[in-house]
Amino acid sequence: MKTETKKYLKIGIGVLLLYLCIHYWDKLAGIAALVFSAASPLIVGGVIAYLVNIIMSWYERHWFPKSQKKVIIKSRRIICLVFAILSMLAIVALVVLLVIPQLWDAVALLLSEVPTYLQKVVEWVETLEILPEDIFAMLENIDWKSQVSKIISTVTSGVGNIVGVAVNVVASVFSTVFNALLAVIFALYLLFGKERLGRQCKKVMARYIKPGIYEKLLHVLDVMNDCFHKYIVGQCTEAIILGVLCTIGMLIFRFPYATMVGALVAFTALIPVAGAYIGAGVGAFMIMTVDPLKAVLFLVYIVILQQLEGNIIYPRVVGSSIGLPGIWVLAAVTVGGGVMGIAGMLLGVPLAAVAYRLLREDVNREDIGNITEKINNKGETEWQSTSN
């Protein structure tokens, strides 16, 4: 009787909570958004700590691993952490130095050529004889270069003279810098005390969660960590391979901006499936400022390289490491991108890999396998008896 009362009580509480969530959804969503915004520096810090920990763990495994000296053991964490941070900063600085200066030069070259292109467009339209001659006379007398310069100067000066915009920009920059600094500090705390923090979390879960659920939860967390770790390492390796192949091919075919476009393609290739095409679009735009025909040839080359990467490199480097078939990679990128944009593309594949592995483990459990075998044996026995 008491068991049934508790059961009905739990059902009633669940129905009441569901009603409150539906009825006060707007307020609850506002509170959740406020909490998420307040905790965003901590969330970003956790992401930074996870990424840095991958490199730091590699350094720790290779920094005098067999040494028993106390000095080396005590200094291993701080030294490997410094190396990991310097490695990430070096990679970012290399990409910025390769991409930004040449991208700026390409944009400046394009802006300087805009008046010439406009004049050619006017002359081409004039040959079609679809507009009155007085309009062409007016268009030919326009100094396109001075007009473009006036537009650029008006936009830049107009924005600079608005005090409110300047104040908002300063406040936004200050807030961003403060949140970034807080995230970095939180990440350092996590990296220095990750073992102790892990033990504390396990103690809390073991105290308040039932043993069976606790073990399953630990298993799910282990699978998530393994899938995310392998996905990040594999995606970075695949991006480096794609960037190197892109650079080598551009040097062979003598396309301009080879190193810059190769670095950009490698950086954007961190986004699964669609990332390389984003970098290729920017690269084609830059090459177009020098030679439009080479821009078209570059796009053809990128399409061929992307097919090679998608069918040979990606399945071997990333797909095999996370154990997710290619069709589910595409589905995860599509759904994740539709829900959360670029962040969804980045998170969709490892989350899908986690779900796929857990589902595969559950389907291939020993008891499920025995049940399937019994059903097959029973069906075979019934078929044999019927045939006899």
Q: What is the pLDDT of residues 236-268, one digit of tens each?
A: 888 888 888 888 988 998 888 888 888 888 888
Cα gap 194→369, rounded to integer Å: 39
Spatial neighbors of 34 by CB under 8 A, at least 6 apart, are: none
Terminal C-alpha separation, the chain: 53
DSSP state of 309: I
Tell me which residue of 217, 216, 187, 212 sits closest to 201, measured CA to CA. 217
Report pLDDT digits (tens) over 178-217: 888 888 899 999 888 888 888 999 899 888 888 888 888 9
Res 128: pLDDT: 59
pTM (predicted TM-score): 0.70
**DSSP output for 90-148:** HHHHHHHHHHHHHHHHHHHHHHHHHHHHHHHHHHHHHHHT-S-HHHHHHHHTS-HHHHH
pLDDT greater than 60 at residue 88: yes
pLDDT greater than 60 at residue 106: yes
Mean pLDDT of the 282-294 span: 82
**DSSP output for 30-92:** HHHHHHHHHHHHHHHHHHHHHHHHHHHHHHHHHSSTT---HHHHHHHHHHHHHHHHHHHHHHH
Give the CA dihedral 276, 277, 279, 283, nearest 10 degrees.
130
Contact (CB, 8 A) for 144 and 117: no
Mean pLDDT of the 155-173 span: 58
Res 353: pLDDT: 86
Contact (CB, 8 A) for 286 and 106: yes
Mean pLDDT of the 28-48 span: 85
Spatial neighbors of 259 by CB under 8 A, at least 6 apart, are: 98, 247
Cα gap 32→295, rounded to integer Å: 47
